[in-house]
Amino acid sequence: MAQDMGFQRDPKHWVSHDASLATEEDLEIRRRIFWGCYTSDKLISLILGRSVYLFYDDAEVETTNRLPDFPEMKPWLPAGFSDYDGGFGAVNPLIPCFKEQIRLSKVIEKMLSKLFSTKSSLEGIGRQSCIDSLNFELCSWYEALPDCAKWNRWEPPSTLLIPSVAALHLLFHSVRIALNFEQAVSHNVAALKDNARKDCLSSAEDIAHIVRKYRSQYGLGHSPLMMIYGVMQAVRALSLFGTPEEAQYLLHVLDECSSAWTLAHQARDRLTRGKM
């Protein structure tokens, strides 16, 4: 529907048809609508196991930029920013994190299209080469994150967790597990399987750390959808390669999230029955 409406065209091309779109704010808002659809498409594809519908190369929309925050916008800012004003100087992490999610979504698009598509014919060395290439792209993306979008599990417990940063890292670690899980449970070469297990376990542990911190600072009653998917992937990995206690904790997290997301309750049932 977004493509039928022409969202993939940059809104500066619409101005000749509608002069009311001439302000920078209007153009930027419409660009964000497209990129929001683009990133959401990748998350929905990951959750449902469907093909992606919006492709990066089909879009001519320019990258999003930060607009000034007007006083009227304050009630709409995500939780966490009001307590952290000025913590990053002039840089508010919301838009940088959104830009990084767009970059990460390009890798997800490639992973779903080349590796997990029903039409994919990759096998053996070709498939392994694709997995290695995607792992390299994920690592390169992670290393190139701007300082305001970085997170690590060793930061002091008192450090405030910015929700947009948390969601970004939940997505990264979830995708890393999704990419390597099949190889981690396969009868592949021992060294390849061990590396895949290490990647899955490391990302699952990071997800658990993020969830604990998010829960202690904000609660889980209004958790983002990304939280549900991240916990699902972490439970799969921890149940096989980690500690059962940590996996059990994350199952309880899904219980708490079920007040906002019916999907959380369904995911918990399937994970408990070992069907995911």
pTM reported for the whole predicted model: 0.86
Q: Which residues contact 34 (CB under 8 A, 6 or more apart)?
A: 2, 7, 8, 59, 61
pLDDT of residue 22: 67
Structure tokens at 129: 């080469």
Listed by start position, the domains of the chain span: 1-65, 66-272
Q: Using alpha carbons only, what angle is made at residue 258 by residues 253 and 262, rounded to the nearest 5 degrees?
A: 140
- Residue entry with tokens 């209007």: 26
41 vs 51: CA distance, rounded Å = 9
Dump pLDDT digits (tens) for 161-208. Answer: 999 999 999 999 999 999 999 999 987 778 889 999 999 999 999 999
Q: How many CA atoms lie within 13 A of 183 on its CB side?
A: 30
DSSP single-letter state for residue 64:
P
Q: How many helices (H) and strands (E) does the chain have?
A: 8, 0
* Radius of gyration, alpha carbons of the chain: 20
pLDDT one-digit tens code per residue, 23-64: 777 778 788 888 999 999 999 999 998 889 898 888 777 777
3-state secondary structure of 66: coil
Asked whether the predicted pLDDT for residue 145 surpasses 60, the reply is: yes
How do residues 206-221 score in pLDDT, each as one tens digit?
999 999 999 999 999 8
